[in-house]
Amino acid sequence: MSLAAFIAAVLLCLMAAISPGPAVLMAARIGLTEGWRTGVALAIGIGAGAVIWAAAALFGLALLFDYAPVLLTALKFGGAGFLIWMAYKMWRGADEPIAETTMPATPRSPLGGFRLGLVTQLANPKPAVFFGAVFIGTVPTNTPGLVLAALLLCIFLGETLWNALVARLFSLEKTRLIYINLKHVIDRTFGGLLALLGVKIAAT
């Protein structure tokens, strides 16, 4: 694998990470409501989930879906159900007041944030399709294992750093003050967008 091809693959994965989706939306939500520390843990979980999908693609994920398309269908509907359930929780709690402190009194633990990020990424068919159909086409079959490991590391760093940045931007005090004043609108907006993403995933 040439250096140019390696850089192209990394940039392609970074573009996919930046594109709006459930992971970015969840990073923004957690940054707003639970702060940057939990947002970083979430971002690490999202990065780990991306690595799992990428590694699965390198080891034949696309072939598995071609052989058993019902697995992709189950993944799509399971992921859509998870996103819609998260959207329902956000919508239902939209009118609950939040204390006007710097951060919530009881943010989830780093492990809880990591777990939420990992589940959000693994429940989303978008990276499964991207890594299984687009990414895999940029990696030659004779690529050395060390190069593949470096590629997976770059994918992890790209996903993690981007979503940590999103969480950081939404954890700033000015952003939080806006959230306190418009919580019911913002929560319902986040919930509505997650629900729409879930419906879109199930329908495509």
* pLDDT tens by residue, the chain, 204 residues: 678 778 877 887 777 787 767 888 889 888 888 888 999 999 999 999 999 988 887 776 556 656 667 766 776 676 667 667 767 776 776 666 554 444 454 678 889 999 999 998 988 777 777 776 666 666 776 778 788 889 899 999 999 999 999 899 888 888 767 766 676 776 777 677 767 766 766 676
DSSP 8-state symbol, 106: S
pTM value > 0.85: no
